[in-house]
Chains A and B, each alone.
Chain A
């Protein structure tokens, strides 16, 4: 046979010219399959978007939205955008501001504008609410009248602040949660004075407290899960109920019962006093100790369950083999058993950490003012002061940090998995 005949396509197989048609048919079938599966999961997808993504995105967008000034004083905002910012504006801008402030007062919106401006400087609230009274009825000579009534209207920094607040988006809230502020005069970002800085501290404290609780949970949960995994099935199930029972009890009930147990006249203090171990009651509650005890107790099941599941699947013969080859039992446990539970530790610890980071009720009830975590301030801004921008910014801050941690976690576990594979 010549070389040529080998190159010829064998009979019965379609020539290359026909393959696009096949590919297309394949694609059509595939497309139909995808469409069908999309249809199947469509309700779920819509549910996730409507009930999960949409609210989260709309809340988070509040941390940069700045509609109060822009929507209520549209002409002033437009004029401020044109204004150079290097010298006091002319009479026309004063008149526009005056006219729109009066209109805003009639609509009952002036308080909204004043409230937004008071975030920049508390003296703005009065400046804005009293401004309509200063404006002459004739509508002329507004500039001298306003400056005469409130000298702050003649200051350049007042107008620079107005210009900044008039833009439809703001960095104010996101800067605030990092204790930063734009200086009215220079326009630079600067740190808040030490007696006002708060949120960086709160964030670090939140991360620190979550770390401690996670370490405590791993420290207590690991031996507990190990012990449970070693028990015969019947007894393990019974003991598991003891782990799960508090897990099924309401969070508030468990937190409140810790107050009863830990307070100075509580069960634990009275028992210690009765046994003569201490002379006067220990302060176990309304401080960080109380928060740690209670959070560790509440979050313990979240690490015991994944660890128990992993440990149940580990064959005891590996450790036995290591010992029979001459390893010390502890070394065998450490070098052979523990590495096999890494996945369980990582999953459980991550779960505990992420839940601990968002804790609200327990620190609020059991902690002092210096034990409050980020979520306390989210609730404070949402309910008490109605400053939803700050609440959203704090929420975004927490979300971004958790996402970063998660990326690090995925990287680390992937590298260790790859290292194990090689």
Chain B
């Protein structure tokens, strides 16, 4: 009896050891569906290992608790750049060995960092419903033009993106935005510009809100994530995207410090970053691939809808996560105080 029990326990352990599975946590929704098609299923199909996929909302508290207690349940996580940098500084992620992840020169420079490997590029853009607005806005300055385009407009309820947009609407060139914003005078200038539009702004917090409001007619134009707009366009809505002075950022893969499946995790990241797999992802959701060679594989019509299409990228500005790491808390506090007045 005892022997059979012991054998059984031993068998379970060996079974577990044989089928090594990797826990990959990403943001949910259509994003995860596309990842499932592009990365998880092909990885398993190629016989490299099984993927245990999960989702989260970017709560760093969870990862910190895992690392601090040594109970590492997650292996690979998807992160936005500021969280990646903060976590990397605080020692929550493994240092990446790029020789195992692919050819560094195949990627856009922002995708290669100490703790993270870029997955895709997403963009905050100006959008409007073309079926309701025949002649739409052409840039952020038009966003402020309430005479020609009367009605409410929506912006994300945070200092991040809002300050950049205000400065660009005020005529600051996109390459100078962070230079201006780093000075107290620049911050005052952004708030002064925002003062002009304040009564006409409706603030959104989740990515789905601005598109719902455009459909219901609550707002005439909004800032929004380009992937969400793409999904709405696929549903038949006539949303137009203004790529001029769009603000882009990356989502990254990172390996949680102390992961028991580090080697497999590296194999997974290398696999997901291959051009042919990023191509499938970009076909399912309009986010830009970080692997430069992917563009050659993509249909030109699809490519033009991505933030990384050369025409779109040339008129976009990258979020400066160093700037937000240093000034984020101050500016958010001031923004909250300003918005509450």
Contacts and interface: CB of A to CB of B under 8 A. Distances in A.
Contacts of B336: 198, 369, 377, 380
B175 interface: no
Interface in A175-202: 195-198, 201-202
Interface hub of A119, A201, A368 (most chain B Cβ within 10 A):
A368
A338 interface: no
A198 B333 contact: yes
A129 B90 CA distance: 12
Interface of B: 59-61, 64, 86, 89-91, 157, 202-203, 205, 216-218, 325-330, 332-334, 336-341
Contacts of A368: 202-203, 339
A255 interface: no
Nearest to A283: B152
Contacts of B326: 118, 122, 125-126
A110 B218 CA distance: 47
A110 B326 CA distance: 14
Interface in A363-394: 364, 368-370, 372, 377, 380, 382-383, 385-387
A369 B340 contact: yes
A401 to B, nearest CB: 19
A264 B218 CA distance: 6
A263 B90 contact: no
B157 A369 contact: yes
Nearest to A124: B326
A265 B218 contact: yes
The winner among B60, B205, B341 for most chain A CB atoms within 10 A is B341
B337 A195 contact: yes
Contacts of A205: 340
A20 interface: no
A187 to B, nearest CB: 22
A21 interface: no
A125 B325 contact: yes
Query: Which 9 residue pairs of A and B lie closest in terms of their CB atoms, listed nearest first?
Result: A108-B91, A369-B339, A111-B89, A198-B337, A111-B90, A370-B340, A122-B330, A265-B216, A265-B217
B87 to A, nearest CB: 9
Contacts of B340: 198, 201-202, 205, 369-370, 372
Contact of A196 (B60, B61, B333, B339): B333
B90 A112 contact: yes
Given A112-B90, A265-B218, A368-B203, A385 B329 contact: yes
Interface string A270-301: 00000000000000001000000000000000
A197 B340 CA distance: 10
A422 interface: no
Given A109-B90, A383-B61, 5 more contacts: A111-B86, A111-B89, A122-B330, A286-B202, A372-B340
Given A122-B326, A265-B218, A196 B89 contact: no
Contact of A386 (B61, B218, B334, B337): B61
A107 B157 contact: no
A108 B87 CA distance: 10
The winner among B61, B203, B325 for most chain A CB atoms within 10 A is B325
A39 to B, nearest CB: 35
A22 to B, nearest CB: 58
Contact of A264 (B217, B327, B329): B217
A266 B213 CA distance: 11
A203 to B, nearest CB: 12
A263 B216 contact: yes
B334 A264 contact: no
B60 A386 contact: yes
A370 B205 CA distance: 14
24 contacts: A107-B91, A111-B86, A111-B90, A195-B337, A196-B333, A196-B334, A198-B336, A198-B340, A201-B337, A264-B218, A265-B216, A265-B218, A368-B202, A368-B339, A369-B203, A369-B339, A369-B340, A380-B336, A383-B59, A383-B61, A385-B332, A386-B60, A386-B61, A387-B329
